[in-house]
């Protein structure tokens, strides 16, 4: 008997065959069950398959689009005025847009900022990304909140209608984000040094630089800027770097970055190396995917979330001092606290849904958080974590 995917794909194809008779709209979002939302297209004329998610941030759309953690995801922005300040070369969190597609409520005809260089549509075209507008983003957000993550196709048709067979095959066969190792795609191929700080008018002397090896699962530029600001000298390595390759750089600290995909698919390849690094007592700090992979190295488990956390207004409680931090987040997997060993202390929890947001080891210099303290975009409530990392490195450097 044909699968449900077969019927969904057949329904999609029937809809697509009748495009000229439906309306004069030029783009569409198609769900796996055949539901279609029609709108208009921006960016390049192409189709993409990915997981649909929503982001509630009111600023920082350029930073979100260029975050490698959004690989194979299509972002629905809930804020209506996306594009209002244009785009520029400084606000990119990586070398390009990593989100596969974008959905906004309405286009911005006039953008305004003294830092702007090009408009958002030109930025999409420059990065080969399709965008859909003119749909009810409130409906999409509610749908995802109630029904969980969705596999979808986003199509900006233009005049070309000869790729539908490929679309049918891809939406039928794509497995979704579970068991998908995307970090290996976005990780740096070559080792490099980072020597830029955050933007500031303050002049201060860089002293007592400690070397930090950053394992790149999809690292953001603002993470590296913050590490540099705290008198740390980042060296970025591919995620598959061996134990010997890491130790040969003589690191004072090790950083595990954010990134896309399923932590179990990525983590199983590097857990042996990470366990050996933990035993060296070199301080280790993880963020987002790095948090999940570190937890696995400490014998905890991860799981897919129902809808994930994406936005820059997420309240997190610090269990060590009872302070609430407003945080920036982007993740669809979580660490399962029920699998924590006696050596793990939970340090932070989400006040949205109670999920784990941070941990540390009872006896070793190892800690991590699920959210993004570099906050690009987002509030700066959690910048202290970089200071904590620096102080931990300084403490253990004196011991050695």
Catalytic machinery residues: 288, 372, 374
Burial class from Cβ neighbours inside 10 Å (0-12, 13-18, 19+) for residue 23 reads exposed
**N residues, the chain:** 400
> Tokens 């070559």 map to which residue?
190
CA atoms within 13 A on the CB side of 180: 20
- Edge-to-edge strand order for the sheet containing 366-369? 192-193, 232-238, 210-216, 253-256, 284-287, 366-369, 356-361, 344-350, 301-318, 323-336
Question: How many Cβ atoms sit within 10 Å of the Cβ of residue 8?
Answer: 20
Q: What angle do CA 301, 306, 307 make, to 5 degrees?
A: 120
Residues facing 53 on adjacent strands: 75
The DSSP call for residue 289 is H
N- to C-terminal Cα separation, the chain: 66
Distance between CA atoms of residues 355 and 341, nearest Å:
17
DSSP letter string, 330-368: EEEEEEEGGG--TTEEEEEEETTT--EEEEEESSSSEEE
| DSSP H or E run through 222 | helix 221-229
């Amino acid at each position: 008997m044909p699968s449900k995917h077969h019927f969904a794909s057949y329904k999609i194809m029937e809809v697509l065959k009748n495009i000229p008779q439906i309306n004069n709209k030029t783009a569409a979002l198609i769900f796996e069950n055949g539901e279609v939302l029609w709108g208009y297209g921006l960016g390049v004329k192409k189709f993409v398959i990915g997981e649909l998610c929503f982001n509630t941030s009111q600023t920082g759309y350029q930073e979100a689009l260029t975050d490698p953690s959004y690989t194979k995801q299509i972002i629905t922005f809930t804020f209506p005025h996306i594009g209002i300040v244009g785009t520029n070369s400084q606000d990119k969190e990586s070398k390009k847009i990593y989100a596969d597609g974008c959905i906004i409520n309405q286009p911005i005809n006039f953008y305004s900022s003294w830092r702007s260089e090009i408009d958002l549509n030109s930025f999409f075209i420059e990065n080969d990304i399709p965008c859909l507008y003119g749909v009810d983003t409130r409906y999409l957000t509610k749908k995802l909140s109630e029904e969980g993550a969705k596999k979808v196709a986003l199509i900006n048709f233009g005049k070309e209608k000869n790729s539908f067979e490929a679309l049918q095959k891809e939406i039928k066969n794509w497995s979704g984000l579970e068991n998908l190792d995307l970090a290996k795609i976005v990780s740096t191929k070559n080792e490099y040094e980072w020597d830029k700080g955050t933007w500031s008018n303050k002049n201060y002397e860089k002293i007592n630089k400690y070397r930090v090896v950053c394992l790149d699962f999809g690292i953001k530029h603002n993470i590296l800027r913050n590490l540099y600001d705290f008198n740390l000298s980042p060296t970025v390595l591919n995620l598959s770097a061996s134990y010997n390759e890491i130790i040969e750089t003589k690191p004072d600290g090790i950083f595990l970055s954010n990134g896309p995909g399923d932590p179990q698919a990525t983590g199983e390849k590097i857990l042996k190396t990470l366990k050996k690094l933990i035993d060296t007592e070199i301080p280790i700090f993880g963020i987002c995917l790095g948090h999940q992979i570190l937890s696995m190295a400490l014998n905890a488990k991860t799981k897919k979330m129902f809808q994930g956390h994406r936005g820059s207004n997420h309240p997190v409680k610090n269990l060590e001092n009872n302070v609430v931090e407003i945080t920036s987040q982007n993740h669809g997997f979580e660490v399962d606290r029920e699998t924590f060993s006696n050596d793990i202390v939970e340090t932070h929890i989400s006040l949205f849904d109670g999920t784990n947001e941070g941990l540390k080891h009872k006896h070793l210099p190892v800690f991590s958080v699920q959210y993004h303290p570099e906050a690009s975009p987002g509030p700066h409530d959690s910048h202290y974590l970089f200071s904590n990392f620096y102080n931990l490195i300084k403490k253990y450097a004196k011991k050695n």
